[in-house]
A and B are shown apart, each in its own frame.
Chain A
Amino acid sequence: MPAQAKDLFNDAIDNELLNEASQLRELLSLALSPSKLELLMRDNCVLCHTDPEAQDPETLFWTDPEAVGSPPHLNLREVVRDVHFRRGLSCSGCHGGTPTDEDMADEIYDRWPEAPERHADRTWIPDFCARCHSDPAFMRRFDPSLATDQYAKYRESLHGKLLLEQADSKAAQCVSCHGVHGIRDSKSPRSPVHPRNVPYTCGACHADADYMKGYKDAAGDPLPTNQLEEFETSVHGRALLERGDTGAPACNDCHGNHAAMPPEIASIGQVCRTCHSGNGELFEGSKHKKAFERNGWPECEKCHGNHAIARTDDSMLNEKSNPLCYECHRENAEDNPDCIRTAEYFYASISTLATEQKSLAEQVHQLAEKGLDVEPLAATVDDMEDTLRQSRSLIHAFDRSEFEKIEKRGHEAARQGWEQVEAAEGEYRFRLTGLRVAIGFMILLSVALYLKIREMEART
């Protein structure tokens, strides 16, 4: 143990703040760096509240709270990993008093409501956190890059309105999402607000039917509680939760975080455009845009859904597997049969290109196994893949003109690909013919040699 750390422990023993062997073991088991250990050992709050003789279980910090009957938030191991503690703020930073106080300061009682009262009424929490987090000058000392508008946004959010205006303490506030005593940086994978954990943090309330009972949406319907379940099966959910791709959106990427609210119909398309800007632009200039506005339909959501967005595939354009376009058009665009024909055309074109691309990709594999040069063909297949990607995007313009250009490029690439296949197969036929001729010649030579040997040995 470094000499400085020894001195700290000796001081604590001399000051009768470190009295128990179990208390010493708890503190040492944290295996802190010298600077963190100093911060901890110079904090009388910690020393006193880790003394099992001096504290009741309700106020005793322990590395395994369950073992001593303490509440989970008094986990000492979590406290020392708290983002505030790591930046030098310990108990008194929030609770009041100073780290050198030998007794509970009056300020602590003044600042904190009694336990039953503060647990029943959570309206005080946002304001309490905002004392520091809304103060740019103060926050600059710790993390200049951290925003200080969370409280302002929160007040405008649905959560904020419920809590602050209607005093509904069930509404989410800072602690509901960030936790307490073990608050981590949002970049930490263990933080409840890390992108991969956000769906479960939100789901803790929003997927609980009992908890959400009584809450209604703008139309007055009960709020659904299947969002998490749907999200887990969606293309976004699988990317985020199964593959760990933090580029995929979590709840807050569409709904906001401190300003959380459901995107209204008018803003849904904008939310999707944050990532899918190309398709958004195409939709913007399409005939659908006006029709959707006229009918008050949400743009992307109308076809793709929201929380349960499935991976798109070409069958979405096929009437048999997905009657979406057709039903909608029969109902709302009876006088425009060309719409149906356009959808059919898109489906037929993309299917043809996809089939061609798949067949050519198989050819690359088969010809490579024969030892043929497949580099040009592989480049053509890549070109077709690119064409397909573009054509699938271009259907969002719901117009043939641009699509036809790409389709033409795709067919041209396919034609070139099949020519390359034919050339490669011709080369292979040439090789086989050469082999047959060479083998035939060798067999003839072998037979001649064999006859010569027989004739020679028969003579002798």
Chain B
Amino acid sequence: MSTARADKRLYRWIDERYGVSPLIEFLRHKEVPLGAHPLFWYFLGGTTLFFFAVQIVSGVLLLVYYQPGENTSYESIRYITTKVPFGWLVRSVHCWSAHLMIVSLVVHMLSTMMLKAYRPPRELTWLTGFLLFNLALGFGFSGYLLPWNELAFFATAVGTDSVKSVPVVGNWLLQVMRGGPDVTINTVYRFFALHICILPILTVGLITVHLIFIQRQGMAPPIAKHVAPRGMRFFPNFALRDLLWWILCLAALLVLALLLPYGPGIPGVEWELGQKADPLAPAYPGIKPEWYFLWIYQLLKEFPPHLFGLEGPQVCLAVVSLLMTTWALVPWLDRKARRDEPSPAFTDFGVGAMLFITFLMLKAWDIGAGAVADGGFPDPAAVARPCAWILLAVAVAVTAVRIAVYRDRWFVFSGAAVLHAVLHGLVGLPYLAAGAIAAAAAALATGFTVARGRTSAMPAGGGH
């Protein structure tokens, strides 16, 4: 009884000084919409935030021992993993959590795309989320080089080299990124500053803005046509579920960090320290970037050195930029969702984009290449065939679920992605030719669908 009274007195003391009552009142009334979608989709933003928090904590612990420098970057990471008590655990958790954060972020973004949570008035929430996604990729890219090992060195050399393709300022940008014409320890200093200072400040700022938007507007309810939402109190009902889920995530993180300390052994998801970087050593074959950059890496390989009078990588960069810009502008492009109507075309755009990226990733992993001689390269046709079959199987499964569960009937973009993979992998057309045919087919089908939609929407008697 006396404890409760003391609590009340403390609360009143704080409230008199800082006016927290409106905030408590706000939290008491905050709700998570229920009814149309499984609750799971609302956990993903929090999951990403949880992994980001793990990154901050583990990153600060690594900072205690990590020293960037020609003779210290690699050595200090080696020291952390071999000599510092629990240093191995901190590094392994940092690496696993980084990948899981990106996975969670991608799924969060896709769920937002599929549920059309970006529609007004939440366009800027989507945009800040998209920017956070780019910052996360920046974290991945800058952090990869810090151990100054062989794999990181060559992957960064290849990765930064693609910046050259940016028109006009490409070479200047390359020099700025590398701190000179080549990847050297100067690049490590830059990436270190970016990784531990610039990106965290930007990310924390943007997360704050993203969260303020969400708190001001609440979580997006399902599109009007769906079941009318009920609500679950955010605090404590949803917050406790969040906490429960985070504990399970932490448990999974610890299990992975201990049982697979260097990652699952898939190219692009591994962080064994290996040999120290040697700028004079020849690059070895099979260097691949981290998994979330694999699709861009593979797309670059698909382009010839010259195309339409431009350099191949420049055209590739333009394609990637176009895709990313379209993705960022989806809230403004999706006019149906803006009217609170279902927009199956954009659902399919999301699925099609994922299939397009998946096919490139499968190819980048050289799936089906079999044994390749040392220093050799796998036969591209032998790789494309099984990748196309896998993509076909994935697409069939996804489409079946979409038809059976979500009653989707619009498959133009996903169909184009499958046609692309089939024409390239199974028919044997070059990747770009197959892509051009698939894009033309998608444009025709979209035009036909839009025209038919307009005709059927027209009043029967010609109208006024």
Contacts and interface: CB of A to CB of B under 8 A. Distances in A.
User: What are the nearest 3 A-B pairs in CB distance?
Assistant: A371-B261, A373-B82, A442-B251
B244 interface: yes
Interface in B233-247: 236-237, 240-241, 243-244, 247
Nearest to A434: B258
A446 B247 contact: yes
Interface of B: 81-83, 88-89, 92, 236-237, 240-241, 243-244, 247-248, 250-251, 254-255, 258, 261-262
Nearest to B262: A371
A457 B82 contact: no
Contact of B258 (A431, A443, A449, A457): A431
Interface string A171-195: 0000000000000000000000000
A445 B246 CA distance: 11
Contact of A443 (B236, B251, B262): B251
A371 B89 CA distance: 9
Contacts of B81: 371, 373
A375 interface: yes
Interface string A127-165: 000000000000000000000000000000000000000
Contact of B250 (A369, A442, A457): A442
Interface string A37-62: 00000000000000000000000000
Contacts of A371: 81, 88, 92, 258, 261-262
Interface of A: prevailing SS:
helix
Contacts of B247: 442, 445-446, 449
Contact of A435 (B236, B241, B255): B255
A435 B262 CA distance: 17
Contacts of B244: 446, 449-450, 453
A453 B241 contact: yes
Interface string A363-388: 00000011111010000000000000
A373 B251 CA distance: 24
Interface string A418-455: 00000000000001100100110011011001101100
B82 A449 contact: no
Nearest to B236: A456
Given A438-B254, A446-B247, A453-B240, A375 B261 contact: no
Contacts of B92: 371
Nearest to A376: B82
A318 B418 CA distance: 63
A372 B258 CA distance: 10
A410 B83 CA distance: 27
B9 to A, nearest CB: 26
A370 B82 contact: no
Contacts of B237: 453, 456-457
A435 B254 contact: yes
Contacts of A453: 237, 240-241, 244
A449 B248 CA distance: 11
Given A442-B251, A446-B247, A453-B237, A435 B258 contact: yes
A457 B244 CA distance: 15
Contacts of B82: 373, 375
B83 A449 contact: no
